[in-house]
Amino acid sequence: MATQDIPQDVGGGRASLFYDPKVRGIFFQVLVIVALVAFVYWIIGNTVENLKRANIASGFAFLNGRAGFDVSDTLIAFDSDSTYRRALLVGFINTLVVAAAGIVTASILGFLIGIGRLSHNWLIRKICTVYVELFRNIPPLLVIFFWYFGVLSVLPLPKESIELPFGSFLNSRGFYFPKLVWGDGSMLVPVALLLGLAMSWFVARRAKQRQMATGATFPVFWTSLALIVGLPFLALVATGFPLSFDFPQKSTFNLTGGLQIKPEFLSLYLALSFYTAAFIAEIVRAGIRGVSSGQSEASAALGLRSAQALRLVVVPQALRIVIPPLTSQFLNLTKNSSLAIAIGYPDLVAVGGTVLNQTGQAIEIVVIWMVVYLGLSLITSAFMNWFNAKMALVER
């Protein structure tokens, strides 16, 4: 019996095609992309029209212009005749310095407080708890104001400076300490330090390979310490100690000589460190709590003391839990450094704001801010992801 062709419903086929989840998903994705492109096009056109109406030339050529202002805290040479580009570079370096110093200090302080939260000593445990609850519930800007107006601003005047060990002084204008003055042949010392660091890394790597292969341990810490300290000391001896100190001296109205760390940097550095350390402490505490109690019991059964079990067994395992959320705190500290403008510390945002007021190049300055902070965040995240991968458990 011959079969007849049955005509298909074309309209129904198209409707069923639209209800296909894959086709529908592609359609809405294309629709969203088209809408985003149209929105960006409208924003750019509107911005260009407004710039023309205000007679403001767009572009980054203004960076080569004369700055015409001074920066109070610089690590590189800068004066009012320098360019806007160099002014922004000064602000960028200041941001890097305060962020790097804050990350190191907050990590150490947060680690100690996190362990203190788990201490069997009632007083230590309660002090650490109060610290965490206090700083976690205060906005970082208030912490900055506390250090700037409540601590450093009430210090004595320079002529009544507080004398500290090693020829250092502390007063309302900052912290003064001796300055290293390098003589002829002193370049051998940093070379020896770099050599010591490289050799320490090599020793640590070989010791780890040896321990994995044979189980035998090696005193890596003391060996590395001897290399890092001993080699520069030998270089100093070989070059006849080409090193002297310029100590700060009291004068009639101020201190002369030495190096000065100004109160703006100290306030921002201490505030960011103490504030972020409270969050890191909770991350560390949670990481240690996340390690099974059986690990501590097994360590005690092997004869390890509590401090040894914490250092050799618990903390290495807790790091695998701690590192991912720790990355977010490092990023927050870096971005919170932009609050420096509130106390006059010349970071990237503060210097960029001055450049913006003088040139009117608002869009370009905001773009620079966004690119710099995005770059710092991506670099920090990449490094922490690499470190997290190095700390991850690897099956043999």
**Quick check: 258 and 178 in contact, CB under 8 A?**
yes
Residue with tokens 């004398």, as numbered in its chain: 163
Residue 393 has pLDDT above 70, yes or no: no
Q: pLDDT of 71-114, one tens digit each?
A: 888 888 898 889 999 999 999 999 999 999 999 999 999 999 99
Architecture (CATH level 2) of domain 84-162+264-391:
Orthogonal Bundle (1.10)
Q: How far apart are CA 319 and CA 322, in angstroms?
A: 5
Position 180 scores a pLDDT of 81
Residue 57 has pLDDT above 90, yes or no: no
Position 98 scores a pLDDT of 95
Q: pLDDT of 318-368, one tens digit each?
A: 888 888 899 999 999 999 999 999 998 999 999 999 999 998 888 889 999
Q: How far apart are CA 95 and CA 346, in angstroms?
A: 8
Residue type (1 letter), 360: G
Q: pLDDT of 10-23, one tens digit each?
A: 555 555 666 777 87
Residue 56 has pLDDT above 50, yes or no: yes
**Average pLDDT, whole number, for the chain?**
86
Q: Where are the domains of the chain?
A: 2-53, 84-162+264-391, 184-244
Kind and range of the H or E run holding 106: helix 84-116
Please give the backbone phi and psi of residue 65, each rounded to the nearest 5 degrees, phi first.
-75, 165
Tell me how far CA of residue 380 lies from CA of 269, 275, 327, in angstroms: 19, 19, 8
Confidence band (pLDDT; 50, 70, 90) for 51? confident
Confidence band (pLDDT; 50, 70, 90) for 48? confident
Residue 2: helix, strand or coil by DSSP? coil
More confident residue, 99 or 56: 99
CB-based contacts of 261: which residues, under 8 Å, 6+ apart? 174, 175, 176, 177
Residue 4 has pLDDT above 60, yes or no: no
Confidence band (pLDDT; 50, 70, 90) for 256? confident
Q: pLDDT of 189-236, one tens digit each?
A: 888 889 989 999 998 888 888 877 887 778 888 888 888 888 888 888
Please state whether the predicted TM-score (pTM) of the whole model is above 0.85. Answer: no
Confidence band (pLDDT; 50, 70, 90) for 308? confident
Q: 369-393: buried (b, 16+ CB within 10 Å) or exposed (e) per residue?
A: beebbeebbeebeeebeeebeeeee
Sheet with 168-171: strands ordered across: 162-164, 168-171, 174-177, 259-261
Q: What proportion of the chain, given as a percentage, has pLDDT over 90?
A: 40
Residue with tokens 């350390």, as numbered in its chain: 277
Position 189 scores a pLDDT of 84
Other CB atoms closer than 10 Å to residue 93's CB: what's the count?
17
Other CB atoms closer than 10 Å to residue 317's CB: what's the count?
17
Residue 124 has pLDDT above 70, yes or no: yes
**Mean pLDDT (whole number) for 286-295:** 84
Q: pLDDT of 161-182, one tens digit each?
A: 888 888 889 998 889 988 888 7
